Chains A and B, each alone.
Chain A
Amino acid sequence: MPKKKLVKKIVKLVFPQELIKEPVTFRMAKKYDIMPNVRRAKVTKTIGESILELEGEENNIEKGIRYLKKLGVDVKPIEGDIVD
């Protein structure tokens, strides 16, 4: 079976307080066979933020992002909102 093409996507994740201590990025990566590459991160008592690159099959990345959103993580483009 031919190998599916891998794609990369850069995202900003914002975690609510209740998810800060949960390994949600790891779980998403394992569940959907995605390789996360964290470049920057910040955590406070009430909120967390990480900027990372996700690499995997396009379909899996979409599923992984949906999984994170369902858990309550904000998944946003690093450019901020483009519509101005």
Chain B
Amino acid sequence: MSYVKSLKCRECGRTYPKKPIYVCEWCFGPLEVVYDYKRIKKVLTREKISSREKNLWRYKELLPIDKEPMVGLNSGFTPFFEAKNLSKVLGAKKIFIKDDSVNHPTLSFKDRVVAVALSKAKEFGFKTVACASTGNLANSVSSHSKQAGFNCYVFIPANLEKSKIVSSLIYGVNLIAVDGNYDDVNRLCGEIASKYKWAFVNVNLRPYYAEGSKTYGFEIVEQLGWRVPKHIIVPAASGSLLTKIYKGIKEFKQLGLIKKSDTKFHIAQADGCSPIVSALKQNCDIIKPVKPNTIAKSLAIGNPADGFYVIDIVKKTGGFGEVATDEEIVEGIKLLAETEGIFTETAGGVTVAVCKKLVESKKISKDEEIVICITGNGLKTQEAVENKIGRPIKIKPNIKSFEEEVRVWL
């Protein structure tokens, strides 16, 4: 049973039928899914959600599918826990971590959005799915497409690191390496998306795809005991994740599943790619595109589609935006590993570093609850830290050598 009413333009409010479309014909604004909340309120309760399997589809009434979910049946419901050691080091009373570095099956929050996009692609009857990506999205679309039986095309810049190529190619997809820079790949994929009748997950399926991010917020609320935290720090590339966590929390409030929705949303970007934070700090709601230059490749979106909406949410909830330099990102990754035993990718390093800055600058009170969003796994971006951590201690295969080399710790 479907609870989706229509698609709606986020700019002018015009409505459209449920189709694989993403832009308003009138004002070229982005389209968003609208639900029938009155009907959902009659059927969705905390008890019902809690009784379901622990994956993202436990919130299926608030996801844009018409039939039962078909893809990503093990994605979501990732760990959420109090990070006591990190809290102590940062001087904060209570920091929680929502840990999508162990999301199934490809270790990033992209498994949520791709699960939803590909379930929708099945409903629309697509045979082929596609995406353009330099990392997490490529891995997730590749993996899910095979499990779901789609033909799959993944477009990447030709100079992408070998490790990232392997983690998509292993699934046997059509991996297309475009001999050009980032802008060239973008332009070509835009043309391909409009020419071929494929499900291009973050283009013509974007309104549906993006809804998957709401489940990250739903889970935070549920795992926190059906309430919202005072602060949430979200890393931003296109900005979609932050806008959808916000939308999810508002939906829970509207449905009466939570009493309050007064979370302050803070945005974290890399210093080498911070178009949203820059606009926020300049108190401007027009995003000036930038050329990314950061080790946080998963956040390296210089022309973020949802930047304007992120600024709106951060401002109206009383949040802040902050950036992390490459050095601070590495320190953030190491800090999370050394305190909580979590090896996150560079985006997680940005979030931890920004959390540190916001607490130190008292923009976030150390006495208030903070949730930080860890969205990907460090095993995917080892090159970012490999020369900035310790070295193994080399010894000969005998006790004498061992005791000589490591005696300082004995």
Residues of A participating in the B interface, judged by any CB pair closer than 8 Å: 10, 14, 16, 39-40, 42, 44, 46-49, 51, 53, 74, 76-84
Return chain B residues, CB-CB under 8 Å to A82: 132, 185-186, 189-190, 193, 200, 202-203
Return chain A residues, CB-CB under 8 Å to B157: 83
**Contact between chains at B190 and A84 (CB < 8 Å):** no
**Contact between chains at A81 and B303 (CB < 8 Å):** yes
Return chain A residues, CB-CB under 8 Å to B193: 82
Q: Which of B243-251, B283-291, B316-324 contacts A (4 or more CB under 8 A)?
A: B283-291
Tally of B interface residues using CB under 8 Å: 42
**Contact between chains at A81 and B286 (CB < 8 Å):** no
- Shortest A63–chain B CB gap in Å is 15
**Contact between chains at B202 and A84 (CB < 8 Å):** yes
Which single member of A14, A39, A42, A44 contacts B26 (CB below 8 Å)? A39
**Contact between chains at A46 and B132 (CB < 8 Å):** no
Apart from A74-B288, A79-B190, what are 18 other A-B pairs with CB-CB below 8 Å? A39-B27, A40-B11, A40-B27, A42-B286, A46-B282, A47-B288, A76-B303, A77-B190, A78-B23, A79-B203, A81-B182, A81-B303, A82-B185, A82-B186, A82-B193, A82-B200, A83-B182, A84-B202
Given A44-B286, A46-B284: A83 and B133 within 8 A (CB)? yes
**Contact between chains at A39 and B286 (CB < 8 Å):** no
**Contact between chains at A40 and B29 (CB < 8 Å):** yes
**Contact between chains at B304 and A80 (CB < 8 Å):** yes
Return chain B residues, CB-CB under 8 Å to A53: 28
Nearest CB in chain A to that of B110: its residue: A84
Which DSSP category, helix, strand, loop or mixed, fits chain A's interface?
strand
Return chain A residues, CB-CB under 8 Å to B185: 82-83
- Shortest A20–chain B CB gap in Å is 11
Counting chain B CB atoms within 10 Å of each CB, which of A39, A42, A82 scores highest?
A82
Residues of B participating in the A interface, judged by any CB pair closer than 8 Å: 11, 22-23, 26-29, 131-134, 136-137, 155, 157, 182, 185-187, 189-190, 193, 200, 202-203, 206, 237-238, 282, 284-289, 301-307
Give the number of residue pairs across the A-B interface with Cβ within 8 Å. 90
**Contact between chains at B203 and A74 (CB < 8 Å):** no
**Contact between chains at B304 and A81 (CB < 8 Å):** yes
Return chain B residues, CB-CB under 8 Å to A49: 286
Which single member of A10, A47, A74, A79 contacts B284 (CB below 8 Å)? A47
**Contact between chains at B27 and A80 (CB < 8 Å):** no
Given A51-B27, A51-B28, A74-B289: A80 and B284 within 8 A (CB)? no
Nearest CB in chain B to that of A45: its residue: B284
Return chain B residues, CB-CB under 8 Å to A44: 284-286
Nearest CB in chain A to that of B204: its residue: A79
CA distance A40 to B288 in the complex (A): 16
Return chain B residues, CB-CB under 8 Å to A80: 238, 301, 303-307
**Contact between chains at A76 and B132 (CB < 8 Å):** no
Return chain B residues, CB-CB under 8 Å to A47: 284, 286, 288
